[in-house]
Structure 1
């Protein structure tokens, strides 16, 4: 099992962050590295359009 870190997730926003899985150097193969990701449920991708904030009012 590998740890994961979530970046760019604002606590007040419904927009999900990005999940990074840092891989230890001793687990990397010089030719090809494959990791499997086991999920608890089917993946639910965020598909809403994200744009710039036009007003803070």
Structure 2
């Protein structure tokens, strides 16, 4: 089984824009990012996790 791929915050932020413009499925195919992964980034961006660095995520 392959090792989990790590994406830096900047890449995630930049990937959200095309996902919102052309759709998560198509953007994921073009960026070679799994649908579920990109969908999670879009949801996080909608909650302001990537745009507002003053917010802290609550511990699980």
TM-score, with structure 1 as normaliser: 0.21
- Larger helix percent: 2
TM-score, with structure 2 as normaliser: 0.20
- Structure with larger Rg: 1
- Larger strand percent: 1
